[in-house]
Structure 1
């Protein structure tokens, strides 16, 4: 644990640093500061004698599930739908459909478009 030298009555705020990736994210919430609780680091350091340091009521850690973001075409498809009748049901027409070529990679566990594969030369081997 690193030793910090600060002036008395200095307000310190807790922080968490991480290196994000394309699949993972992390978020820390250290609780709100009220007049009865100081930030997380203030509870860890020696406070001045007149201040009563109290830890926040709870430390919340939110775990996010990873998701893979893939590229989509720049324009959205124009879809027309209409109900023909109760017997025949609905009719859906797609104008100007965009072709999208993707490859499923079962080893990695997700799909990649051709554009993404061109940017990742290690997958072309």
Structure 2
């Protein structure tokens, strides 16, 4: 799930930043992507399970990092920031729906139940 989310996030940054800026800032794209996706998902997962953090910590902290970090790091103008915010808002539920429906993995957004394809075919 992390790999798919990472690929989607990098593609989203490519769309928002445009080809030239994306290519010039490749290293920053990879660092921001690793922080937002990899560390964010690990914090959410282990914050909820191993650390026993309340949901109002393990869910909003990665969400805030996702919302704030890329526009700040890449100094996005307001139109690109709006596009980024729209796409980032859509991407989390999209990944959840795809993984829940196709693979039955409901861990990403467990509070939104999505039946798996396998359960519907039974």
* TM-score, scaled relative to structure 1: 0.21
Instruction: Select the structure of larger CA radius of gyration.
Output: 1
Q: Which has the higher helix share?
A: 2
Q: Which has the higher strand share?
A: 1
